[in-house]
């Protein structure tokens, strides 16, 4: 754990004064169960392969700094397991290493929150859940992706655009049951082939056009239907689902996007469901951010998810 990332103002040490940086401790597998555990995935190799703008490898540090100063309204146990760093082009090795950490944290009875990193983080997070004791042959896993993109590309070289196709292939090979749903799909950002692939795989999705605040009730109905159909949930938030004015610091800023109010309401509903097993946030690129706007927005979402689940 980097003390320089978990640092900030100290108003006091009693509970009514506490902020995140005062609550987070270095993670040990021997820690009592029931805490949230932050895991960094310092990688943007998948973004580079997908011909995007690299810089998301610095995302975990920026997310920790943005979360540090937020005040905690109630006692919360939290740990930091450090970063999985992908320093060369061996993305697959990094995803496997992330999966190992996520699986260990889950099997220790904790709630992993993975800080990306490009959206190639999704394969590592998912494999960690799939390999853990939480997943059995009878358990139906649901992936809810808040994203402008399906990330179902069939490119021969895996990237940030392929993780959910890779997951689909893994599930098919295992013969296990799963559901992949997406909120915020941007039609201009996804080819007809990607829509066809989504339909073939049984993906359920909402377009960004149908996710405005005036449509919040129908969006939450979609979420409730998803939650009712699965046993365990993996929530993944690609920050490019948000409007560019809210989240400028991403590889592919949204021309339209889903309002933050909608994304927050969805995250709140999932966190309170009792089914959320693991969560990650992807695509924060601090070099492209403005006044830490994207980092602070992402940190607020993670803050609410951690508290809502607790």
Using CA atoms, how far residue 301 sits from 68, 136, 147, 305, 306, in Å, is 13, 29, 14, 6, 9
Give the E-state strand segments of the chain in sequence order: 24-26, 36-42, 78-85, 111-116, 141-146, 178-185, 204-207, 232-238, 276-282
The domains of the chain, with CATH numbers, are 15-309 (3.40.800.10)
- Residue listed under structure tokens 């979420």: 223
pTM exceeds 0.95, yes or no: yes
Q: Contact 109/35 with Cβ under 8 angstroms?
A: no
Starting at the edge strand found earlier in the chain, the sheet holding 78-85 runs 24-26, 78-85, 36-42, 111-116, 276-282, 232-238, 141-146, 178-185, 204-207
CA dist 83 and 48 (Å) reads 20
pLDDT digits (tens, 9 = 90+) for 128-156: 999 999 999 899 999 999 999 999 999 99
pLDDT digits (tens, 9 = 90+) for 38-61: 999 999 999 999 999 999 999 999
pLDDT digits (tens, 9 = 90+) for 183-239: 999 999 999 999 999 999 999 999 999 999 999 999 999 999 999 999 999 999 999
């Amino acid at each position: 754990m980097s003390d320089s990332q978990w640092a900030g103002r100290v108003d006091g040490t009693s509970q009514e004064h506490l902020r995140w940086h005062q609550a987070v401790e270095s993670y040990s597998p021997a820690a009592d169960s029931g805490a949230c555990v932050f895991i960094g995935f310092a990688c943007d190799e998948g973004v580079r392969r997908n011909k995007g703008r690299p810089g998301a490898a610095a995302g975990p540090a920026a997310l920790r700094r943005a979360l540090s100063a937020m005040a905690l309204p109630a006692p919360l146990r939290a740990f930091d397991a450090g970063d999985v760093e992908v320093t060369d082009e061996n993305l697959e090795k990094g995803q496997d290493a992330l999966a190992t950490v996520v699986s260990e944290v889950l099997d220790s009875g904790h709630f992993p929150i993975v800080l990306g990193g490009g959206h190639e983080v999704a394969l590592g997070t998912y494999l960690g859940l799939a390999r853990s004791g939480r997943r059995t042959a009878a358990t139906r896993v649901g992936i809810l992706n808040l994203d402008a993109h399906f990330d179902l590309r069939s490119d021969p070289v895996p990237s940030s655009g392929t993780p959910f196709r890779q997951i689909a292939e893994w599930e098919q090979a295992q013969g296990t049951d799963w559901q992949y749903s997406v909120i915020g799909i941007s039609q201009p950002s996804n080819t007809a082939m990607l829509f066809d692939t989504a339909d073939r795989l049984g993906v359920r999705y909402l377009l960004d056009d149908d996710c405005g605040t005036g449509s919040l009730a129908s969006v939450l109905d979609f979420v409730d239907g998803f939650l009712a159909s699965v046993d365990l949930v993996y929530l993944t938030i690609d920050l490019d689902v948000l409007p560019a004015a809210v989240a400028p610091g991403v590889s592919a800023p949204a021309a339209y996007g889903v309002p933050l109010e909608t994304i927050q309401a969805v995250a709140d509903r999932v966190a309170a469901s009792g089914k959320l097993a693991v969560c990650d946030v992807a695509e924060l690129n601090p070099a492209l951010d403005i006044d830490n706007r994207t980092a602070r927005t992402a940190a607020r979402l993670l803050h609410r998810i951690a508290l809502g689940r607790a």
